[in-house]
Amino acid sequence: MKYLMLVCVDPDLVPDENDGAPDIEEWFAQVKENHVVGSRTRPGADATTVRVRDRQVLLTDGPYAETKDLMAGFDVIDCADLDEAVAIASKHPMAYRGVIELRPFWPFEQD
């Protein structure tokens, strides 16, 4: 099962250097067998939201979601089950300093 890991920051949180968060390179070395792809993303201010209403394309600058936590990147991991995905996500540095949201992929053939 593939999972999308949304890596989010909490702008109100001031990280503590002694919080026990691993280095991102350490995390990647531990999970490289499960890691499919990942990257940072530009800040929400650089986002463009696309909608089509009445056959018209509507663009909005910035992110659509109004949330406290801001997406900073993503990873796609391939795991046996949710327990394995949680184990991997809980070792990511941003689990200590922000939020990791796990979303399982929903293949079209599973409708």
69 touches 99 (CB < 8 A)? yes
21 touches 97 (CB < 8 A)? yes
Whole-prediction pTM value?
0.80
| Angstrom distance (rounded) from CA 96 to CA 12 | 14
pLDDT digit string (tens) for the chain, length 111 residues: 999 999 988 888 887 888 888 899 999 999 999 999 999 888 877 888 788 999 998 888 876 656 556 788 999 999 999 999 999 999 999 998 888 999 999 888 887
